[in-house]
């Protein structure tokens, strides 16, 4: 790791030492602007354009002449290959393209920089930036592993990673955005209302580029996924079918080959260390009143991995670069919400500023952060909570790892005072720490952790009960692609094994689980559970808007209710190793006035009364008078 860091540091030093050797050039293609373009009618009229071009910072002056647009300030930085132009775009500005003139020096030619303003989208809050709520059912997809809709983009000439080998989890497989678009009907029939995609931005790295978390260009959708046009097409097609799009935001780090790493604008663009320093991954140091300042710094400023340089979000230019990209993405593509990667590793004051900027422009947008931590207090620290502490997060919600650990214990550990399903009960009993726990995202697995079906020993009854819990508990349920067929996979020896291809996503696949004919008996059983519950909950106010009342687990039996003035749902889970008798007299506080039930999964009706429930089985009853 030290050798790699020394090489990386040498690149930075070399780049900065050569700043003065470059001169302004006149070729129009010899500059890049970030953002690539902007929009009229934004609530915040300020825009900072990063211009990257050899020697652009050596210009004698910068001017523009376009109605409604003012160049308010020019900021030159250490690296003369960059200049930051601060513009004000007032309400009178019209869409169009204007020129920014950079005057040459020492006999060098002037540079004319073209910049375009587009009109804002119509329908904010109705057609895009809608956000997700507990009425939604999110489906997480890793594009490279879902479906190959366009074989022409499987390899892209000039990109560093030329692998294409489905026989190994370490290479690219060729899935793309067109493949997802081709299967929107399948997702809608399953009951999905929102699609969360792992990152789509260019990852021009030498290897392991399937996951998308090492950006090398913030304004270019990876061409192997189909590029910007394919993303636009997917979002538009999804919206036309009433499906929302959640984008994976990565603020903490970039890839080693990002232009701001290869040719950094300034020495403190990244969090630099004398020797390579990894984050400690210990979130406790951020809120521990007794924590070492040095260890607090390591948690926040240490690199996530040596391939992903850590951005210094306290640098105002870095902060503005990231915030503007977030705003640009919502407006350019019309996405509906953000899942924010590695939330705890960002500078938290920056995150508050970024969240506020997004919500100022898009009040209905949803923001939820990845908080892979252990402990309800730990998790709640990073989102809107009830704590009276100096740092107050404005993040709406989190990916709820604590309830994941709870349902995992319920299905893998024997019942005890603190063990088994009591862990799940106790976790939910602490919801008072959240400002709005109904916004938390609940899940069984994702792209970083073992498939839940493998975690519970491939027990079908346990899996069906866990799905019943997921789609009836409080919060926003999220499902991981192909888990509707009880897909297996563990993270050892590689996380690639939890990122296997969706069977049928490639034209020569022997099995196609997008069709009923391609599913075996177990597949049909699990798929039908998911489809039935997901579609039922769309019109179930108790599940999407209602309150939660849970009862103390007894001998492995866990009972809870979701209730609303218009509906009451009763869920019973038996996490014991033997059949149990459910005594309905214990739950009269919520069953009073009801004498019948509708079994949501079997679609049978019956009379309320004591009943027997098998080991690791669950029922979901809609109560009737």
Q: Identify the H or E element spanning 140.
A: strand 138-141
Q: What count of other Cβ atoms lies within 10 Å of the Cβ of residue 392?
A: 12
Range(s) within the chain of domains with CATH label 2.60.40.10: 2-118
Range(s) within the chain of domains with CATH label 3.20.20.80: 138-282+307-373+394-401+436-538
Annotated catalytic residue 501 = no
CATH of 2-118, one of 3.40.50.720, 1.20.58.110, 3.30.390.10, 2.60.40.10: 2.60.40.10
Closest CA to 98 of 112, 110, 84: 112
Statement: 544-624 belongs to CATH 1.20.140.10: no
Closest CA to 187 of 126, 241, 129: 241
Angle at alpha carbon of residue 367, lines to 363 and 372, rounded to 5°: 165
Options 176, 341, 431, 445, the catalytic residue: 341
pLDDT tens for 379-428 read: 999 999 999 999 999 999 999 999 999 999 999 999 999 999 999 999 99
The beta strands (E) that lie in 224-380 are given as 244-249, 337-340, 366-369
Q: What average pLDDT does this structure show over 505-517?
A: 97
DSSP state of 355: H
Q: CA 611: distance to chain centroid?
A: 42
Range(s) within the chain of domains with CATH label 2.60.40.1180: 544-624
Closest CA to 60 of 18, 97, 23: 23
pLDDT tens for 31-79 read: 999 999 999 999 999 999 999 999 999 999 999 999 999 999 999 999 9
Task: Please list, in sequence order, all residues whose beta carbon lies within 8 angstroms of the beta carbon of residue 38, skipping any fewer than 6 positions away.
Answer: 47, 49, 89, 115, 116, 117, 118, 328
Question: Strands 217-221 and 201-202, how do they pair?
Answer: antiparallel
Q: CA 372: distance to chain centroid?
A: 13
Options 222, 331, 370, 400, the catalytic residue: 370
Please determine, for residue 515, whether its predicted confidence score (pLDDT) is greater than 50. yes
Cα atoms found within 13 Å of the Cα of residue 391, Cβ hemisphere only: 17
Annotated catalytic residue 370 = yes
Q: What average pLDDT does this structure show over 562-573?
A: 98
Q: CA 64: distance to chain centroid?
A: 38
**pLDDT at 107 (0 to 100):** 60
16 pLDDT tier (thresholds 50, 70, 90): very low
Please determine, for residue 14, whether its predicted confidence score (pLDDT) is greater than 60. no
Topology of domain 138-282+307-373+394-401+436-538 in CATH is TIM Barrel (3.20.20)
């Amino acid at each position: 790791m030290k050798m790699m860091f020394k090489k990386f540091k040498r690149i930075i030093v070399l780049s900065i030492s050569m700043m003065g050797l470059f001169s302004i050039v006149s070729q129009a293609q010899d500059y890049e602007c970030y953002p690539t373009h902007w929009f009229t009618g934004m609530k915040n009229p300020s825009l900072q354009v990063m211009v990257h071009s050899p020697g652009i910072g050596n210009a004698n002056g910068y001017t523009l002449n376009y109605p409604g647009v003012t160049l308010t300030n020019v900021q030159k930085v250490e690296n003369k290959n960059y200049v930051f132009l601060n513009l004000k775009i007032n309400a009178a500005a019209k869409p169009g393209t204007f020129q920014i003139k950079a005057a040459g020096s020492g006999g060098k030619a002037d540079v004319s920089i073209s910049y375009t303003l587009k009109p804002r989208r119509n329908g904010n809050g109705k057609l895009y930036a809608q956000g997700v709520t507990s009425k939604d059912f999110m489906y997480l997809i890793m594009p490279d592993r879902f479906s190959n809709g366009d074989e022409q983009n499987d390899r892209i000439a000039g990109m560093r990673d030329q692998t294409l080998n489905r026989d190994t989890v370490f290479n690219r497989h060729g899935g793309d955005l067109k493949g997802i678009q081709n299967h929107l009907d399948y997702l809608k029939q399953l009951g999905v209302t929102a699609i969360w995609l792992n990152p789509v931005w260019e990852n021009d790295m030498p290897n392991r580029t399937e996951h998308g978390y090492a950006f090398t260009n913030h304004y270019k959708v990876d061409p192997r996924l189909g590029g910007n046009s394919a993303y636009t097409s997917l979002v538009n097609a999804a919206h036309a079918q009433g499906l929302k799009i959640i984008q994976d935001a990565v603020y903490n780090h970039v890839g080693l080959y990002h232009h701001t790493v290869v040719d950094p604008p300034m020495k403190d663009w990244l969090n630099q260390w004398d020797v390579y320093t990894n984050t400690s991954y210990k979130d406790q140091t951020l809120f521990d009143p007794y924590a070492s300042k040095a260890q607090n710094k390591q948690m926040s400023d240490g690199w996530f991995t040596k391939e992903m340089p850590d951005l210094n979000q306290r640098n105002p230019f870095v902060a503005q670069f990231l915030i503007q990209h977030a705003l640009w993405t919502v407006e350019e593509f019309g996405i509906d919400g953000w899942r924010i990667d590695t939330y705890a590793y960002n500078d938290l004051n920056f995150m508050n500023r970024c969240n506020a900027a997004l919500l100022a422009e898009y009040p209905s947008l949803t923001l939820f952060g990845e908080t892979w931590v252990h402990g309800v207090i730990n998790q709640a620290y990073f989102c809107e909570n009830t704590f009276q502490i100096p740092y107050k997060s404005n993040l709406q919600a989190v990916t709820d790892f604590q309830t994941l650990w709870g349902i995992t214990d319920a299905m893998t550990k024997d019942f005890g005072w603190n063990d088994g399903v009591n862990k799940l009960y106790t976790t939910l009993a602490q919801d008072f720490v959240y400002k709005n726990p109904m916004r938390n995202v609940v899940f069984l697995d994702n792209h970083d952790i073992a498939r839940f079906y493998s975690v519970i020993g491939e027990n079908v009854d346990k899996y069906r009960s866990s799905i019943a819990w997921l789609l009836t508990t409080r919060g926003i349920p999220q499902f991981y692609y192909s888990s509707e067929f009880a897909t297996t996979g563990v993270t050892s020896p590689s996380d690639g094994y939890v990122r296997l291809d969706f069977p049928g996503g490639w034209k020569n696949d022997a099995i196609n689980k997008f069709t009923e004919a391609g599913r075996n008996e177990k597949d049909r059983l699990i798929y039908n559970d998911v489809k039935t519950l997901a579609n039922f909950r769309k019109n179930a106010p108790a599940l999407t808007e209602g309150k939660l009342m849970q009862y103390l687990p007894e001998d492995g039996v866990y009972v809870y209710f979701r209730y609303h003035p218009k509906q009451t749902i009763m869920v019973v889970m038996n996490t014991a190793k033997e059949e149990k008798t459910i005594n309905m007299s214990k739950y009269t506080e919520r069953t009073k006035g009801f004498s019948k039930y509708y079994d949501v999964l079997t679609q049978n009706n019956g009379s309320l009364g004591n009943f027997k429930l098998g080991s690791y089985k669950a029922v979901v009853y809609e109560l009737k008078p």
